[in-house]
């Protein structure tokens, strides 16, 4: 893999840049500064860093109170814990109370590999999306991660962002990052099938479209990093005329991108929507790419699934 | 509880277990070596004394153990292998490999493991439930859990503490692996747990302090006191040394989950062997 820079390292860069001029930017961690690549933030701006120890519920409540006192609070903790262990606090203290807390789930999805289901977050999209007033973002690479964080620094509403632990292959390139906040990015236009992906599976989906092209199949690809609010306009436009839609996500089969896309397509432009996701069971032990390959969520698997759907 | 065997021999065995945990970590390409090294004497003493063996692991009357600091699973695998629940070669061959059931946190599909853990702050509440069930079913089994000191920041620990005292669970004994370090640094710097004994005492627990939690006799004596204490649960605050087994790692937060390189591996293995020799020659 060419890229060695993890999305979490980019997050730290953006937050440090912001903190240098904006003293209201505050980062909170739950003994997670190392895992979050935020140790250098803590060292550089100790007065803008709050350590709460291993106490994720307290992390979110404190972040919410800081936000209500005018801070731009970024609460950063493993996605598995901040999304479900702190769920009540995310719902009540952040979303319901309309506080400007950015909840950052690091090491999301199956990033933690062999550490098992306690450390995997395959429910976070469903859980967070179900909260009124909560936005949900899953950037696909380091360039888009920068765009999402820069945009979040400019608004004053709560949001949940999931990023992975390990460097991921680039989808975009320096100086070539088409990005409008809350608008899906069209990576390819196609007439046979539309592939809608988010997070770390966007690159594989983009590669799958190339494999399909070689076989004479025209596949469109959307980078739907904005799960909520889902960009329905771009989605419906891209889905128009294709025979089927294939969604790809590092998440449970229930309540994630696939569910949301199916809901929208069935109501507006009924056609087959098939979801590629993690199974409804503890996932197999392995590194992210091994796990994706095992469940047919790598480029070849996605291309095969598309071909199978088209028959 | 069962009677403790030869303390000198077991003290040496604790260093064999450290070597096994080290080899498991090297085989799997990762693990929580620092906390693995502070707990071998505690786990070994427990498994030498608890009323549970590979033959009785499904008995409703067995004693139960929950590793609340689940990330330090490599030493648990080593101890469970030593006690005959698992096969060490199989653990080493499979740990953290693709498709493996031997993952980086305890999983109850594996022999000898009662509960899944890994998300911190669950172990005490789970153990309270087991102890409560024992009381309801009029069983004589005992329940033990090992909790990290950094883990005490989890509020759920204190919910469990309140419930344990409220239900007078004298069949429950929590052990705090007080090695004073967590991933970000000193526990007192990250988020001080304050007066740990005082907090448990205020919740209604019997508090036992073990000055050297890497001393098998001291741990065993504390377990006896806990078993004799009636009407309330006991907590053993065990002063341990994180990374114990090699000066390279000892009392250094940076070794929380560092993977040794080959040179470091050789050094750590040699240091562990030297510790064992010193015990046998002592």
CATH number for the domain spanning A103: value is: 3.40.50.970
The CA distance from A114 to the nearest CA of chain B, in Å, is 5
Q: What's the whole-number mean pLDDT along residues A2-17?
A: 95
Residues A157-173: tens digit of each pLDDT: 999 999 999 999 999 99
Task: Report the Cα B128 to chain-centroid distance in Å.
Answer: 17
pLDDT at B257: 95
When CB atoms are compared, the residue of A31, A58, A114 closest to B103 is A114
One domain for residues A46 and A151: yes
Whether A145 and A28 share a structural domain: yes
Please give the distance of CA B226 from its chain centroid, rounded to a whole number. Answer: 16
Strands (E) in B161-202, as ranges, are 172-178, 181-182, 185-186
User: Does residue A304 carry a pLDDT above 70?
Assistant: yes
The whole-number pLDDT of residue B282 equals 86
Question: Which residues of chain B neighbour A115 with C-beta distances below 8 Å?
Answer: 71, 103-105, 118
Cβ contact A34–B99 (<8 Å): no
C-alpha span between B264 and B282 (Å, rounded): 27
- Note whether A14 and A102 are same-domain residues: yes
Residue of chain A whose alpha carbon sits nearest to that of B181:
A31
Q: Please give the structure tokens belonging to residue B203.
A: 């919740």
A253 touches chain B (CB under 8 A): no
Task: Summarize the confidence of residues B56-66 as an average pLDDT.
Answer: 96
Q: Which of A2-11, A245-254, B32-41 has the lowest mean pLDDT?
A: A2-11
Same domain, yes or no: A224 and A273? yes
My answer on whether A97 and A216 are in the same domain is no
Q: For chain B, what percent of residues have pLDDT higher than 90?
A: 97
Q: Which two tokens stand for residue B74?
A: 């490599």
Q: Are residues A217 and A155 in the same domain?
A: no
Number of domains in chain A: 2
Which helix (H) or strand (E) segment holds residue A136: the answer is strand A135-137
- Give which of B53, B13, B215 is closest to B65, Cα–Cα: B53
Of B71, B107, B119, the CB nearest to A85: B119
- A25 in the same domain as A144: yes
- CATH number at A302 reads 3.40.50.920
The answer to whether B114 touches B66, Cβ cutoff 8 Å, is yes
Between CA A201 and CA B108 the distance in angstroms is 31
State how far residue A286 is from chain B, nearest Cα, in angstroms: 4
pLDDT reading at B130 higher than 90: yes
Query: How close does chain A come to B259, measured CA to CA in Å?
Result: 15
Decide if A167 is inside a domain. no
Read off the pLDDT of each residue in B169-190 and give the average, rounded to a whole number: 97
Same domain, A206 and A146: no
The verdict on A253 and A210 lying in the same domain is yes
A54 touches chain B (CB under 8 A): yes
Distance to chain A for B31, nearest Cα, Å = 9
Contact between residue B7 and residue B148 where contact means Cβ atoms under 8 Å apart? no
Q: Does A172 map to a domain?
A: no
Task: Please report residues of A whose CB lies closer than 8 A to that of B98.
Answer: 284-287, 290, 294
| Cβ pair A286:B101 closer than 8 A | no
Whole-number pLDDT of residue A69: 85
The per-residue DSSP string of A147-179 comes to HHHHHHHH--S-EEEE--SS----SSBTTB---
The answer as to whether A208 is a domain residue is yes
A193-197: strand order across its sheet: A185-188, A219-223, A193-197, A244-248, A272-276
Report the interhelical angle of B216-228 vs B7-28 (nearest 10°): 100
Name the region of A237 (left: φ>0; alpha: ψ -120 to 50; beta: rest). alpha
Bridge-partner residues for A27, per DSSP?
A: A49, A74
Q: What does the block give as tokens for A154?
A: 């400019």
pLDDT, residue A68, reads 86
- A62 domain residue, yes or no: yes
Domains and CATH numbers, chain B: 7-281 (3.40.50.970)
Cα gap B51→B57, rounded to integer Å: 9
* Separation of alpha carbons B104 and A292, rounded Å: 19
pLDDT at B277 > cutoff 70: yes
Residue A1 reports pLDDT greater than 80: no
Q: What's the CA dihedral at B166, B170, B172, B176 to 10 degrees? A: 90
> What are the backbone angles phi and psi of residue B208, rounded to the nearest 5°?
-120, 130
Between the two ends of chain A, the Cα-to-Cα distance in Å is 33
Which of B96, B120, B184 is the closest to A285 by Cβ?
A: B96
A205 & A241 share domain:
yes
Q: Are residues B117 and A118, on separate chains, in Cβ contact within 8 Å?
A: yes
Residue (of A278, A277, A279, A297) closest to A289 by Cα position: A297
What does the pLDDT average to over B107-114? 94
Contact A195, A219 (CB under 8 A): yes
* Cα dihedral A137/A140/A144/A150 (nearest 10): 30
Residue B53 DSSP SS3 = coil
DSSP letter assigned to residue A84: I
Measured between CA atoms, the residue of chain A closest to residue B72 is A115
CA–CA gap between residue A65 and residue B256 (Å, rounded): 31
Best of A114, A117, A283, A295 to mutate (most B CBs within 10 Å, chain B) = A114
pLDDT value at residue A119? 96
| Residue A16 located in a structural domain | yes
Q: Where are the alpha helices (DSSP H) in chain A?
A: 7-21, 39-44, 56-68, 79-80, 87-89, 124-129, 142-154, 202-214, 232-239, 257-268, 288-294, 299-310
Tell me which of A244-258, B26-40, B120-134, B170-184 is least confident.
B120-134
Which long-range CB contacts under 8 A does B270-279 form with residues at least 24 apart? B271/B245, B271/B246, B271/B247, B272/B15, B272/B18, B272/B19, B272/B22, B272/B245, B272/B246, B273/B15, B273/B19, B275/B15, B275/B245, B276/B12, B276/B15, B276/B16, B279/B8, B279/B11, B279/B12, B279/B15
Residue at token pair 């040699």: B270
Among A93, A127, A162, give the residue marking a domain's end.
A162
Each residue's pLDDT tens digit, B65-93: 999 999 999 999 999 999 999 999 999 99
Q: Are residues A26 and A57 in the same domain?
A: yes
pLDDT higher than 70, residue B266: yes
Hey, is the C-beta of A40 within 8 angstroms of any chain B C-beta? no
CA atoms of B105 and A80, how far apart (whole Å): 14
Which of A31, A35, A77 should we substitute to test contact with B (largest number of B Cβ atoms within 10 Å)? A31
Residue A202 belongs to some domain of the structure: yes
Nearest to B100 among A55, A117, A285 (CB): A285
Percentage of residues in chain A having pLDDT higher than 70? 100
Reported confidence tier of residue A175, pLDDT bands at 50, 70, 90:
very high
What is the phi/psi pair of residue A74, to 5°? -115, 110
Q: B120 and A54: CB-CB below 8 Å?
A: yes
Label residues B131-164 b or e (16+ Cβ within 10 Å = b): bbebeeeeeebbbbbbbbbbbbbbebbbebbebb
- Asked if A118 and B28 come within 8 Å (Cβ–Cβ), the reply is no
Question: Which has more pLDDT, A92 or A242?
Answer: A242
State the average pLDDT over residues A49-54: 92
Q: Is A284 on the interface with B (CB under 8 A)?
A: yes
Query: Residue A151 corresponds to which tokens in the numbers above?
Result: 């945009």
A311 within some domain = no
Work out the minimum CA distance from A85 to partner chain B, whole angstroms: 9
Provide the residue range defining the domain that includes A83: 7-162
And the tokens for A201? 């599976």
Q: B282: which 2 tokens?
A: 């002592």
Residues of chain A with Cβ-Cβ distance to B120 below 8 Å are 54
What is residue A113's DSSP assignment? G
Q: Which residue of A has its CA nearest to B182?
A: A31
Q: What is the DSSP letter of A95?
A: I
Is there a contact between B98 and A81 if contact means CB atoms under 8 Å apart?
no
Question: A180 forms bridges with which residues in the sheet?
Answer: A183
pLDDT value, residue A2: 84
Cβ-based contacts of A55 with chain B (< 8 Å): 153-155, 191
Residue A168 counted as domain residue: no
Q: Does A84 score more than 70 pLDDT?
A: yes
Query: B95 to chain A, minimum CA–CA distance in Å?
Result: 8
* Closest Cα in chain B, distance from residue A279 (Å): 14
Q: Complex ipTM, two decimals?
A: 0.81
Worst-scoring range by mean pLDDT, A64-68, A106-110, A242-246, A272-276? A64-68
Q: Do residues A207 and A287 share a domain?
A: yes
């Amino acid at each position: 893999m060419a890229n060695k820079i993890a999305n979490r390292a980019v997050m730290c860069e953006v937050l440090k840049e912001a903190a240098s001029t904006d003293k209201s930017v505050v980062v909170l961690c739950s003994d997670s500064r190392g895992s979050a690549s935020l140790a250098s933030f803590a060292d550089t701006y100790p007065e803008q860093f709050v350590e709460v120890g291993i106490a994720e519920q307290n992390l979110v409540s404190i972040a919410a109170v800081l936000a209500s006192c005018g801070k731009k609070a970024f609460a950063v903790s493993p996605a598995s814990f901040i999304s479900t262990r702190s769920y009540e606090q995310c719902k009540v203290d952040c979303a319901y109370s309309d506080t400007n807390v950015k909840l950052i789930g690091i090491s999301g999805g199956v990033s933690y590999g062999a550490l098992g289901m306690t450390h995997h977050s395959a429910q976070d999209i469903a859980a967070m999306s179900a909260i009124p007033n909560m936005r949900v973002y899953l950037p696909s690479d380091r360039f888009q991660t920068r765009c999402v964080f820069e945009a979040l620094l400019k608004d004053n509403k709560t949001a949940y962002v999931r990023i992975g632990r390990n460097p991921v292959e680039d989808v975009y390139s320096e100086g070539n990052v088409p990005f409008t906040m809350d608008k899906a990015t069209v990576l390819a236009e196609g007439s046979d099938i539309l592939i809608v992906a988010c997070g770390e599976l966007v690159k594989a989906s983009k590669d799958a479209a190339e494999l399909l092209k070689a076989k004479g199949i025209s596949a469109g690809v959307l980078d739907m990093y904005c799960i909520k609010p889902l960009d329905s306009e771009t989605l419906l436009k891209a889905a128009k005329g294709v025979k089927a839609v294939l969604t790809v996500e590092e998440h449970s089969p229930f309540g994630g991108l696939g569910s949301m896309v199916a809901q929208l397509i069935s109501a507006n432009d009924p056609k087959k929507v098939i979801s590629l996701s993690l199974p409804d069971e503890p996932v197999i032990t392995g590194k992210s790419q091994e796990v994706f390959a095992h469940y047919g969520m790598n480029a070849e698997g996605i291309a095969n699934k598309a071909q199978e759907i088209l028959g | 509880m069962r009677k403790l065997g030869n303390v000198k021999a077991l003290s040496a065995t604790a260093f064999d277990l450290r070597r096994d945990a080290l080899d498991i970590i090297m085989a799997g390409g990762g693990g929580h070596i620092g906390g693995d090294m502070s707990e071998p004497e505690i786990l070994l003493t427990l498994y030498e004394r608890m009323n549970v063996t590979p033959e009785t692991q499904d008995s409703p009357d067995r004693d139960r153990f929950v590793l609340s600091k689940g990330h330090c699973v490599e030493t648990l695998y080593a101890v469970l292998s030593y006690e005959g629940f698992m096969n060490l070669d199989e653990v080493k061959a499979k740990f953290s490999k693709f498709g493996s059931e031997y993952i980086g946190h305890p999983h109850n599909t594996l022999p000898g493991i009662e509960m899944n853990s890994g998300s911190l702050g669950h172990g005490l509440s789970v153990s309270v439930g087991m102890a409560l069930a024992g009381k309801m079913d009029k069983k004589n089994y005992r329940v033990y859990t090992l909790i990290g000191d950094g883990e005490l920041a989890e509020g759920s620990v204190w919910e469990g503490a309140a419930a344990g005292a409220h239900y007078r669970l004298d069949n429950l004994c929590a052990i705090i692996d007080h090695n004073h370090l967590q991933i970000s640094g000193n526990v007192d710097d990250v988020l001080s747990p304050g007066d740990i004994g005082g907090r448990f005492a205020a919740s209604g627990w019997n508090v036992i302090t073990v000055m050297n939690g890497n001393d098998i006799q001291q741990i065993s004596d504390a377990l006896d006191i806990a078993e004799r204490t009636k009407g309330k649960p006991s907590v053993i605050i065990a002063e341990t040394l994180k990374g114990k087994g090699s000066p390279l790692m000892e009392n250094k937060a940076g070794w929380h989950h560092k993977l040794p390189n080959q040179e470091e591996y050789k050094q750590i293995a040699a240091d562990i062997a030297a510790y064992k020799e010193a015990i046998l020659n002592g």
